[in-house]
Amino acid sequence: MSILGLFSLPVRELMSTPLDTDICLIGGGIAGLWLNARLRAAGFSTLLIEQNQLGGGQSMKSQGIIHGGTKYALQGSLTQAAEAISGMPARWRACLEGRGELDLSGVRVLSQHHYLWSPGSMISNLAGFFASKALRGRVDQIKGKSLPEVFAHPAFKGKVYQLAELVLDVPDLVRHLAELSAESLVADPDPRVLQGADGDIQGIAIEGHLIRAQRYILCAGEGNEQLLQQWGLSKPAMQRRPLQMVLVKGAQLPPLYAHCLGSSPKPRLTVTTHPCHDGQWCWYLGGEIAEQGVEQSAAQLIAKAQQELASLLPWVDLSGCQWQTLHVNRAEPAQSGLTRPDSAYLQASSNGLVSWPTKLALAPDLSDQILAELERQGIQPSAQKSNPSLPRPAPAVPVWDSLFP
């Protein structure tokens, strides 16, 4: 920083000790944690600052599906989103098997497959989808003994398709990525972006320290909006797409990882199943029900979910189950008409980069983009390695445990 830059700092920051690092990341969700591990593996020194708990934003509230794009191909042709995401399951599987860009061996895989299920004659509306050449080899109809337990019931009359997608235990993933980050994680309740005179970032002020880096990466999900304001930028704009998810907890719930097809191109219901701390299981319901249920009271939405499950899977015993809902926003770069963005998003501006993965599954893709951008800008690892003794953030408590303590 120049002498002139130092004069423009508030007194609190002038009094603080400087900490130098190659790359400073703000936000410890999947985007920040994945990227941090990649940067460290590439030899960069990093500091990742988390305001609350690791993964406690969207990441640990996600369903953990490592999409391959099938959901987006429901209209009969592969959209750009499906193209961008189609390579992700293989990337993740390589990491889970210890032969990828990050060693994620040991992370719990909840299901090797996600499924698509049609409750009745709906499949006829989707002839184009199943005829799509790009989907061949990625969607297989399964019957008989291959059916997941929940569909292996004489009353089930629909069709089930196995997707080349997997479902991860995200809390376990976050814990694992936190270990890869080692001493680079920093907890601070209110990190502040210090705006430079010429549109750059002068540093990040945390309690007692001023972090100075070659590049600053905003990967704070919904928090990017406020950080951009501190930086003095009005763009890129962010959008929030709200959801109200439904959680059902019970000891007797069979595992279910599937999109239920409805009459629209979006899944009527997306169900994943998660382990609770007391050995019970939690069904986590998303899809249209969560999008359309945003304005409903928790009681209304729970009643609707109970109706849906009773009509779709009447043989599953839900007696004695506990029910909850969870409001959560998806934070993404703004799109016209609040539509879903197609791919991971990165914008470079001066010495900062702003990012949203838009999907947990796209974290590897986002990291590729950021590493390529750093290379394009000529940013190299330096010899400096800060190893400060600072408070560390802890991983968040899974929502199925915080809502059903």
Ligand X SMILES: Cc1cc2nc3c(=O)[nH]c(=O)nc-3n(C[C@H](O)[C@H](O)[C@H](O)COP(=O)(O)OP(=O)(O)OC[C@H]3O[C@@H](n4cnc5c(N)ncnc54)[C@H](O)[C@@H]3O)c2cc1C
Q: Which residues bind ligand X (CB under 6 A)?
A: 26-32, 49-52, 56-59, 61-65, 67, 191, 219-223, 226-227, 243, 245, 286, 328, 330, 356-361
Closer Cβ to ligand X, 220 or 302, answer by number: 220
Kind and range of the H or E run holding 302 = helix 298-312
Shortest distance (Å) from residue 371 CB to ligand X? 17
Contact residues for 311 (Cβ-Cβ < 8 A; gap 6+): none
Closer Cβ to ligand X, 165 or 308, answer by number: 165
341: number of Cβ within 10 Å? 20
Closer Cβ to ligand X, 123 or 284, answer by number: 284
Amino acid letter for position 148 = P
Shortest distance (Å) from residue 350 CB to ligand X? 19
**What gap in Å lies between CA 66 and CA 88, rounded to an integer?**
7
Closer Cβ to ligand X, 31 or 123, answer by number: 31
Contact residues for 8 (Cβ-Cβ < 8 A; gap 6+): 196, 197, 202
CA 368 vs CA 79, 101, 372, 379, 402: distances in Å:
21, 10, 6, 15, 34
Residue with tokens 């409805």: 262
211: number of Cβ within 10 Å? 25
Shortest distance (Å) from residue 123 CB to ligand X? 23
Closer Cβ to ligand X, 32 or 196, answer by number: 32
CA 82 vs CA 69, 103, 200: distances in Å:
4, 26, 35
Shortest distance (Å) from residue 67 CB to ligand X? 5
Closer Cβ to ligand X, 44 or 345, answer by number: 345
The H helix count followed by the E strand count for the chain is 12, 19
Shortest distance (Å) from residue 289 CB to ligand X? 12
**What gap in Å lies between CA 318 and CA 326, rounded to an integer?**
19
**What gap in Å lies between CA 45 and CA 166, rounded to an integer?**
32
Quick one: CA dihedral 11, 15, 18, 23, positive or negative? negative
Shortest distance (Å) from residue 34 CB to ligand X? 8
CA 196 vs CA 46, 166, 188: distances in Å:
21, 44, 21
Tokens at residue 325, please?
């809902």
Closer Cβ to ligand X, 156 or 401, answer by number: 401
Shortest distance (Å) from residue 56 CB to ligand X? 5
- Pairing mode of beta strands 159-163, 114-118: antiparallel
Shortest distance (Å) from residue 49 CB to ligand X? 5
Shortest distance (Å) from residue 254 CB to ligand X? 20
Closer Cβ to ligand X, 56 or 119, answer by number: 56
- Return the closest-CA partner of residue 355 out of 366, 365, 364, 343: 366
Closer Cβ to ligand X, 125 or 175, answer by number: 175
Closer Cβ to ligand X, 58 or 214, answer by number: 58
**What gap in Å lies between CA 313 and CA 393, rounded to an integer?**
41
Shortest distance (Å) from residue 9 CB to ligand X? 19
